[in-house]
A and B are shown apart, each in its own frame.
Chain A
Amino acid sequence: MTNYQGQWLKLSPVAIIYFAVQFVKDVGNNLIYLLPAILVGYNQFSENGLAIISGLAALLLFVAISALLKFYFYQYRLTDGRVQIHSGVFQKNHIDLPFERIQNVRFEQPIFYRPSNHVCMLLDTAGSSKLEAKIIALSKGVAESLKQEVLSHKTEQASSAETESTETEQEQLLNSRSVQDLVIHGLASNRIWIVLGALAPFFNSLSEKFIAGIENLGVDVDALMASSQYAFWQYVLFFLSIAFVVIAFMALISILGSVITFYDFKLTRSNDRYIRRNGFFTRHEVVMKLSRLQMIVYQQNWLDRILQRINLKFEQLGASLDRQSAGTSGGKIMVPSVTLSEADDLASDAWPENKLSAINYHPVSKRLAIRNTLIAFWLLIPLAIAFIYFDQAELSVATGGLFILTTGLVILSWKRWGYAMDEQFIYIRKGLIGVNYRCFPIHKVQQTQLHQSWFMRRFQLCSVRLVLACGGQTLPFIKRATGEKYIDTCLYQVEALRKSWM
Chain B
Amino acid sequence: MLDDTFSNQPILPDNLPTVSSQAFTPLSPMYMKVNLMCRLTFWLIVVSALLSLYWQPWFVLPKTLELYLPQLQLAAGIFGLLTSAYGIIADKNKGYALREHDFSYRSGVIFKSVVSQPVLRIQHVELKHGPIDRHFGLSTLEIFSAGGTMHTFAIPGLPDEKARELRSYVLTHSDIAEND
Check A495 against B19 for contact (C-beta < 8 Å): no
| Count of A-B residue pairs with CB < 8 Å | 99
A489 interface hit (Cβ, 8 Å): yes
Q: Tell which of B111, B120, B150 touches A495, judged by Cβ atoms closer than 8 Å.
A: B120
- Chain A 459-494, CB-CB to B under 8 Å as 1, else 0, gives 000000001110110000000000011011101101
Query: Bound complex: CA of A496 vs CA of B114, how far in Å?
Result: 21
Contacts of A446 in B (CB 8 A): 117-118, 121, 145-147, 151
Complex partner residue of A320 from B11, B111, B148, CB under 8 angstroms: B148
Check: B112 CB closer than 8 A to any chain A CB.
yes
Find the B residue at minimum CB distance from A451.
Answer: B113
In the bound complex, do residue B150 and residue A472 qualify as a contact, i.e. CB atoms below 8 Å apart?
yes
Q: Is the CB of A488 within 8 A of B17?
A: yes
A480 closest partner in B (C-beta): B20
Instruction: Choose from A457, A489, A501 the contact partner of B13 (Cβ within 8 Å).
Output: A489
Cβ contact within 8 Å between A453 and B148: no
A501 CA / B118 CA spacing, docked (Å): 13
* Contact code string A271-313 (vs B, CB < 8 Å = 1, else 0): 0000000000000000000000000000000000000000000
A11 interface residue (CB < 8 Å to B):
no
A448: chain B residues at CB < 8 Å are 19, 115-116
Q: A488 near B11 (CB under 8 angstroms)?
A: no
Contact partners of B13 in chain A: CB under 8 A: 485, 489
Interface residues of B in 7-24 (CB under 8 A from A): 11, 13, 16-20
Is A404 interfacial (CB 8 A cutoff)? no
Residue in B110, B114, B178 whose CB lies within 8 Å of A453: B110
CA distance A469 to B151 in the complex (A): 10
Structural contact, A452 and B18, CB atoms closer than 8 A? no
Q: How far is the CA of A145 from the CA of B116 in the complex (A)?
A: 49
With both beta carbons as reference points, the residue of chain A lying nearest to B8 in the complex is identified as A496
User: Given the complex of chains A and B, what is the CA–CA distance between A476 and B115 in angstroms?
Assistant: 15
Which listed residue, B113, B118, B146, B175, touches A450 by the CB 8 Å rule?
B113
B92: min CB distance to chain A, Å? 17
Residues of A within 8 A of B117 (CB): 446-447
Q: Which residues of A lie under 8 Å from residue B121 when comparing CB positions?
A: 445-447, 494, 501
Most buried by B among A451, A491, A496, A498: A491
Q: Encode contact with A along B94-111: 1 for CB under 8 Å, 0 otherwise.
A: 000000011000000011
Pair A447/B145 contact, Cβ less than 8 Å: yes
Q: Is A7 an interface residue (CB 8 A)?
A: no
Give bound CA distance, A502 to B20, whole Å.
29
With CB as the reference atom, state the residue of chain B lying closest to A320: B148
0 or 1 for each of B118-152: is its CB under 8 Å from A? (1 = yes) = 11110000000000000000000000011111110
Q: A318-B147, A467-B147 are in contact. Are A498 and B175 (CB under 8 A)?
A: yes
| Residue B153 CB within 8 A of the other chain | yes
Chain B residue numbers with a CB within 8 Å of A502 are 146
Given A487-B19, A498-B175, A501-B146, A451-B111 contact (CB < 8 Å): yes
Please tell me which one of the listed residues A317, A467, A487 contacts residue B145 in the complex, with CB atoms under 8 A apart.
A467
Q: Judging by beta carbons under 8 Å apart, are A491 and B113 in contact?
A: no
Q: Shortest distance in angstroms between B148's beta carbon and chain A's nearest beta carbon?
A: 5
Name A430-467 residues within 8 Å CB distance of B: 445-454, 457, 467
* C-alpha spacing A452/B153, complex, angstroms: 18
Does A453 contact B147, Cβ atoms closer than 8 Å? no
How far, in whole Å, are A467 and B149 apart by their CA atoms in the complex?
Answer: 11
> By the criterion CB–CB under 8 Å, are B111 and A494 in contact?
no
Question: A491 and B146 in contact (CB under 8 A), knowing A453-B110, A498-B175?
Answer: no
Can you list 27 pairs linking A and B with CB atoms under 8 Å apart?
A318-B146, A318-B147, A318-B148, A320-B148, A320-B149, A446-B145, A447-B153, A448-B116, A449-B113, A449-B116, A450-B115, A451-B113, A453-B110, A453-B112, A469-B147, A472-B150, A484-B18, A487-B116, A491-B17, A491-B19, A491-B118, A492-B17, A494-B121, A495-B119, A495-B120, A498-B120, A502-B146
Query: Which A residues fall within an 8 A CB radius of B?
Result: 317-318, 320, 445-454, 457, 467-469, 471-472, 484-485, 487-489, 491-492, 494-496, 498, 501-502
Q: What 4 A-B pairs come out closest when comparing CB atoms? A: A467-B147, A495-B101, A469-B146, A446-B147
